[in-house]
């Protein structure tokens, strides 16, 4: 009885299946049959992934260089300040540079203060009219100050300890201040007039690594400044110390005792700050800005893939109907179009990853930097493109799976 029932019912039909290899072959064939369209469709994903890889790579590379520059400058700089203790005398002794030079690790040092935010009246001609005078910041500095700034003398020379001891009315001009005063060279003796007093211009300096605002200033010997305009107010004078790399912390701990062994509490040394916070801010700002651009490129690529896949569905209605009539199920059709869109995204992402890596290496080579490419940035990039293509193909695949065979074959 059981056998008859089985025979009467007929043979049991095996469910149709679509193997993984069949899906891949169908998707690759569909892509290769329209190579131009496939290339244009993958272009958006290519640009998005290329932007993604190059942005993260260039951000890491550039921030590494910024951090290295910051470390070299800030890690070799110590500032010594005058503590406000009720004593109006200058906290730094006259031989402060010589005293601090005996501390191991010090390369250069200089005491300085300035005339304040308002500056002083400076002109290039004697008895200049009020409209010919300019408000320029006047900085009092000891001879070692320019060396501590890493300034280079473009014209002339710097003043020395003799000029300081004899209180000569000489000065140095920052490059920007010299341009404002109309002084471009020192082939002939040049002088400027600070509040009517003549100062011989000994040199013009530029390219300072520290305190770039000094390029807008007139620098005079500190002893000359004190003789003409009096000593600085309490806590105005400071010392800038340039140290060897790695010696800043030790120099900061010994500076007060070396300068004022009689009263070290009068001075306070500021060791260099850690560059970690600055590096983190640079990374966050650069990555946040450019990742938005990469996301926009990926969104554009996803829209392009979705549009092209939807057009392909409309063009291949007959093919879809024939496939359904031959036993293909809805999920088979959907899987085929999803695989096609994911393949387009993957191909574009692989090309974009290659372009992004090449861009990072090229920029680093031109800038003489060390390229930094993290594996967690490069390796997931093709997967990001494939997922983008997969998401973009969801709606077209759903549309294709809803096509009825009879209706498709009638078209």
Residues 248 and 170 in one domain: yes
Which pLDDT value is given to residue 22?
65
Find the DSSP H helices in 119-221: 145-149, 161-165, 175-180
At residue 139 the predicted structure's pLDDT band, cuts being 50, 70 and 90, is very high
For 80, phi then psi, to 5°, come to -110, 125
Q: Does residue 165 fall inside a structural domain?
A: yes
Quick: pLDDT tens for 146-178. Answer: 999 989 898 889 998 899 999 999 999 999 999
Residue 80's nearest CA partner among 274, 254, 275 is: 254
Residue 403's nearest CA partner among 326, 292, 283, 322 is: 322
Domain boundary among 254, 271, 288: 271
Residues 188 and 287 in one domain: no
Q: Does residue 8 fall inside a structural domain?
A: no
pLDDT at 74 exceeding the cut of 70 = no
Q: Are 266 and 82 spatial neighbours (Cβ–Cβ below 8 Å)?
A: yes
Q: Does residue 313 fall inside a structural domain?
A: yes
- From the CB of residue 250, how many other CB atoms can be counted at a distance below 10 Å? 17
- Looking at the 3D structure of the chain, how many domains does it have? 2
DSSP class of 226: H
Q: Are 285 and 368 spatial neighbours (Cβ–Cβ below 8 Å)?
A: no
Residues 266 and 289 in one domain: no
Beta bridge partners of residue 80, listed in sequence order = 239, 269
Residue 320 to residue 30: CA distance in whole angstroms = 13
Residue 382 to residue 45: CA distance in whole angstroms = 10
Residue 398 domain boundaries: 20-69+277-410
Residue 355's nearest CA partner among 161, 363, 251 is: 363
Residue 105 to residue 248: CA distance in whole angstroms = 8
pLDDT at 212 exceeding the cut of 90 = no
Residues 266 and 299 in one domain: no
Domain boundary among 216, 239, 271: 271
Residue 177 to residue 216: CA distance in whole angstroms = 5
Residues 325 and 364 in one domain: yes
Three-class SS state of 78 = strand
Region of poorest pLDDT, from 3-7, 99-103, 300-304, 324-328: 3-7
Residue 68's nearest CA partner among 353, 282, 295, 312 is: 282
What is the residue-averaged pLDDT of the chain? 79
Query: By CB neighbour count within 10 A (0-12 exposed, 13-18 middle, 19+ buried), where does 360 fall?
Result: buried
Q: Which helix (H) or strand (E) holds 136?
A: strand 134-141
Residues 229 and 300 in one domain: no
Region of poorest pLDDT, from 152-156, 247-251, 329-333: 329-333
Which pLDDT value is given to residue 223?
92
pLDDT at 96 exceeding the cut of 60 = yes
Residues 55 and 84 in one domain: no
Which pLDDT value is given to residue 54?
77
pLDDT at 259 exceeding the cut of 90 = yes
DSSP class of 231: P
Domain boundary among 271, 286, 319: 271
Which pLDDT value is given to residue 4?
44
Beta bridge partners of residue 200, listed in sequence order = 170, 191
Residues 287 and 373 in one domain: yes
- From the CB of residue 256, how many other CB atoms can be counted at a distance below 10 Å? 19
Residues 48 and 89 in one domain: no
Q: Are 52 and 373 spatial neighbours (Cβ–Cβ below 8 Å)?
A: no
Which pLDDT value is given to residue 129?
73
**β pairing state of 152-156 and 238-243:** unpaired
Phi-psi region of 12 (alpha: psi -120 to 50; beta: other; left: phi over 0): beta
Q: Does residue 9 fall inside a structural domain?
A: no
Query: By CB neighbour count within 10 A (0-12 exposed, 13-18 middle, 19+ buried), where does 117 fall?
Result: exposed
At residue 218 the predicted structure's pLDDT band, cuts being 50, 70 and 90, is very high
Structure token pair of residue 190: 């040049």
Q: Does residue 7 fall inside a structural domain?
A: no
Residue 171 to residue 191: CA distance in whole angstroms = 9
Q: Does residue 342 fall inside a structural domain?
A: yes
Residues 169 and 99 in one domain: yes
Region of poorest pLDDT, from 192-206, 269-283, 343-357, 374-388: 269-283
Residue 140 to residue 222: CA distance in whole angstroms = 4
Which pLDDT value is given to residue 383?
86
Which pLDDT value is given to residue 205?
93
For 172, phi then psi, to 5°, come to -120, 145
**Stated length of the chain:** 411
Structure token pair of residue 280: 């983190």
Q: Does residue 5 fall inside a structural domain?
A: no
Region of poorest pLDDT, from 67-76, 148-157, 206-215, 221-230: 67-76
Residues 58 and 95 in one domain: no
């Amino acid at each position: 009885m059981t056998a008859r029932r089985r025979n009467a019912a007929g043979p049991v039909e095996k469910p149709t299946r679509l193997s993984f290899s069949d899906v891949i072959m169908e998707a690759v064939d569909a892509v290769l049959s329209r190579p131009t369209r496939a290339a244009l469709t993958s272009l958006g994903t290519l640009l998005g992934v290329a932007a993604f890889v190059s942005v993260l790579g260039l951000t890491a590379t550039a921030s590494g260089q910024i951090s290295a520059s910051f470390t070299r400058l800030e890690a070799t700089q110590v500032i010594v300040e005058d503590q406000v203790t009720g004593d109006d005398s200058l906290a730094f002794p006259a031989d402060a540079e010589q005293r601090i030079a005996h501390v191991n690790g010090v390369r250069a040092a200089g005491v300085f203060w300035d005339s304040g935010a308002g500056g002083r009246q400076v002109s290039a001609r004697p008895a200049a009219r009020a409209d010919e005078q300019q408000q320029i910041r006047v900085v009092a500095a000891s001879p070692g100050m320019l060396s501590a700034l890493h300034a280079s003398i473009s014209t002339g020379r710097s003043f020395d300890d003799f000029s300081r001891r004899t209180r000569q009315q000489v000065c140095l001009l920052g490059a920007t201040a010299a341009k404002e005063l109309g002084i471009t060279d020192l082939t002939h003796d040049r002088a400027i007039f600070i509040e009517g007093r003549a100062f011989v211009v000994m040199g013009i300096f530029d390219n300072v690594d520290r305190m770039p605002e000094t390029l807008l200033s007139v620098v005079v010997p500190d002893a000359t400044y004190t003789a003409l305009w009096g000593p600085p107010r309490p806590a105005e004078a400071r010392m800038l110390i340039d140290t060897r790399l790695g010696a800043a912390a030790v120099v900061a701990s010994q500076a007060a005792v070396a300068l004022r062994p009689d009263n070290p509490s009068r001075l306070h040394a500021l060791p260099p700050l850690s560059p970690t916070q600055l590096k983190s801010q640079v990374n966050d700002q650069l990555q946040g800005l450019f990742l938005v651009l990469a996301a926009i490129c990926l969104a554009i690529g996803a829209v392009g893939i979705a549009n092209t896949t939807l057009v392909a569905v409309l063009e291949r209605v007959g093919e879809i109907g024939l496939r359904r009539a031959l036993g293909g199920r809805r999920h088979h059709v959907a899987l085929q179009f999803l695989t096609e869109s994911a393949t387009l995204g993957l191909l574009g992402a692989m090309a974009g990853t290659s372009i992004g890596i090449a861009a990072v290496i090229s920029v680093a080579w031109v800038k003489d930097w060390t390229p930094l490419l993290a594996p967690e940035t490069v390796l997931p990039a093709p997967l990001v493109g494939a997922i983008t293509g997969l998401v973009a193909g969801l709606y077209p695949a759903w549309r294709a799976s809803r096509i009825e065979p009879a209706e498709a074959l009638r078209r």
